[in-house]
Structure 1
Amino acid sequence: MASSTAPESADERALRRRGLTLALLTITYFFSYMDRQILAILLELIKADLRLTDTQLGLLSGLAFAIFYATLGVPVARLADRSNRRNIIAVALALWSAMTALCGLAQNFAQLLLARIGVGVGEAGSSPPSHSIIADLYPPEKRAGAMAIYSTGVVLGGGFGTMIGGYVASLYGWRWAMVVVGVPGILLALFVWAFVVEPRRGLSDPARAADTSPMPSVGSAFAAMWANKPAFHLVMAVTITSMIGYALAGWGPSFLQRSLSYSVREVALIFAPLAAVAGTVGGLAGGAIANRAAARYGLHAQSWMVAVLKLVALPFMIGFYLTESQSLAMVFYVLNYLFASSYLGPTFALIQSLAPLRMRAMWAAVTLLVINLIGLGLGPTLIGILSDLLRPVTGPEESLRWALVAVGSATPWAIWHYWRAGVLLRRAPAD
């Protein structure tokens, strides 16, 4: 007898499996950040092995990776707004994972630079299509929470990259650490291809899904984003915040080893787990609070919430850089991560809520282009240059400390942009 139950529609299937899709996209982001940030715990070992300067290490950590990661994100996003986003993510994941493993074979600066560029090329295909999929699966009032879950990939990836990389490197050297972290991502790519759903565009925005206008050009996407004043301030805020965050993430392990006399293994087994836990709690709590704030007060409250939490985190970040005490450094490190990790989910959710439906991946790519060219590209690179310049004045043990203090002092600038974005959102709420 034929079943009277109607067959499941594609939309119903997408919504039923959105939890699994979000989980796999978060794990993919975890691997992206782990492969990106593993270099941080290995910098001192690579410096000694390949005889590099801090400026060269800064280029490897920042600009060399960021230029290709950021600029290729735009054409990838253009493709993602037209074609299957799941397949793009799966191919990108396999590519950057293989290139991470190849970093372990580098015999000089040039070879390591090329491998890191390959990692950047691969990772360009991850975040813009992921943001677009999540925005289609979750309505505006739940989007910040979903983005916050996705954004835990940053702190968990950075934490586990440091833990695994540092532990393996302490036993077998930095080259094996690269291989151990890179290879599993190739297998994960198969799971992403098999189980991530490709939702209908506009699935969670019925009022906007009827938009049948032609696909906008890249230039029009840029122009529309910069013309949207709340979006402009959000991009400025997250870019400055990311520059400071990437500086800490990229050079924090080296600072702990140089200025506070921690070993590679101690950084990997003590600080990395603490950062992962504090960052995850802060990110998830920030997303949950942002959802409630939006439901009660409007979307503008999310931007103000981030401004307040960044202000709370600021003295702990500066205290971490300035203290001479190992115990206080640990406390300041954890408290900074707890409050400072709240910004990604609400920021990306707000930008996706402001974006025209057919520009979502493009707006994500434009955001990531600016974040990564300036934040990731400039942050770690600037720290390396400043450290080398300050070395004759402060000595080799303290130059990195004062370089980090100088960059971290830009935090109030980011806070102002979050506040201003909230003001503008309150005056003219998103659709």
Structure 2
Amino acid sequence: MSTTAQHDEIYRVRHYALAILVVVYTFNFIDRQILSILLQPVKDDLGLSDTAMGMLTGFAFAAFYATLGIPIARFADRSNRRNLVAWALGIWSLMTALSGLAQNFWHLLAARIGVGIGEAGCSPPAHSMIADYYPAEQRATALGIYSLGIPLGIMFGLFAGGWINELFGWRAAFFVVGLPGILLALIVRFSLREPPRGMAEGRSDSADQPSVGETLTYLWAKKSFR
């Protein structure tokens, strides 16, 4: 392959990957925000209190999302990041769809916890992949484009949730926004390329990564760290 053809191929692969990751991140925020526009119909239908709704929109999601973010990021350092994004997307999309089957508080609580667990696996591997797709001088722009998923997801999530609820009810809203994410997870798994680590810098990080224990031992040996 000529240098020009190779450059064109890299250009195509990295921009396709970024476009797909933006869509993934958009779905991340659609599924994260969907409950907020459905609070009143869910509360009325299931007979839930304000405290219960606060638990569903806050703690149930945030506690697991925040707690698992770092371990999942560490796992992303050692595993196939494309597959991790695909699995995470599939999990939170399925849990969003299952929210539409909830018959009580506990069903919806379990589903929201599942959404939090799944969404914790999105950005750490996505950021890592973008860093390997794009060189340093283009990386901030690429990450800025990726971050467009936040406002897009909030906008589409609130609009779609309210519109579908008005026409078909809150259960249908969960189904409609959740199920397409499962299809997107398959697209991620079978069309996205896992970039070699260090590709954007023209190097290959093939050496084994140190374990968490080894890292902590190394840091503890440094007086400045202690």
Q: TM-score, normalised by structure 1?
A: 0.47
Equivalent residue for 2:222?
A: none
Aligned partner of 2:209 in structure 1 is 215
Query: Which whole-Å CA distance do the structure 2 matches of 1:11 and 1:106 have between them?
Result: 50
- Is the 2:89–2:181 contact (alpha carbons within 8 Å) kept by the matching residues of 1? yes
**Matches of 1:223 and 1:150, distance apart in 2:** 35
Which residue identity is paired with 2:84? Answer: I
Which of 1 and 2 has higher RCO (CA within 8 Å, sep 6+)? Answer: 2
Secondary structure (helix, strand or coil) at the match of 2:103 reads coil
Q: Is the 8 A contact 2:22 2:148 kept in 1?
A: yes
Written as runs of structure 1 = structure 2, the 5 A alignment for 1:278-427 is: none
Gaps of 5+ in 2: 220-226
- Which residue of 149, 153, 157 corresponds with 1:157? 153
- The alignment-based identity, stated in percent, is 55
State whether residues 32 and 123 of structure 1, in contact with CA within 8 Å, keep that contact through their aligned partners in structure 2. Answer: yes
Shift, 1:213, TM fit: 6.2
Q: How does 1:191-202 map to 2 (within 5 A)?
A: 191-202=187-198
SS in 2 for 1:17: helix
Partner of 2:37: 41
The aligned residue for residue 101 of structure 2 is: 105
Letter in 2 for 1:49: D
Residues 197 and 205 in structure 2, CA contact (< 8 A), matched pair in contact too: no
**Aligned partners of 1:12, 1:193: CA distance in 2, in Å?**
23
Q: Which of the residues 72, 76, 99 maps onto 2:72?
A: 76
Between the aligned partners of 1:70 and 1:138, the Cα distance in structure 2 is 27
1:167 aligned partner, one-letter code: W
Structure with higher Rg: it is: 1
1:189 aligns with one of 170, 178, 185: 185
What is the deviation of 1:197?
A: 1.6
Unaligned stretches of 5+ in structure 1?
226-431
User: Alignment length, in residue pairs?
Assistant: 219
RMSD across aligned positions (CA): 2.7
Structure 1 residue 52 displacement after superposition: 2.4
Aligned match of 1:281: none
Distance in 2 (alpha carbons) for counterparts of 1:178 and 1:202: 39
> Residue 98 of structure 1 aligns to which amino acid in structure 2?
L
Contact 2:197 2:204 in 1 (8 A): no
C-alpha contact 1:137 1:199 (8 A) present in aligned 2: yes
Q: Structure 2 vs 1, CA of residues 220 and 8 (structure 1 numbering), >3 Å: closer, same or farther?
A: farther
TM-score between the two structures when normalised by the length of structure 2: 0.86
Q: Structure 1 residue runs of 4+, over 3 Å off?
A: 5-16, 209-214, 216-225
Question: Aligned pair in 2 of structure 1 residues 158, 189: CA closer, same or farther (>3 Å)?
Answer: same
* Cα distance change of structure 1 residues 9 and 56 upon mapping to structure 2, 3 Å threshold: farther
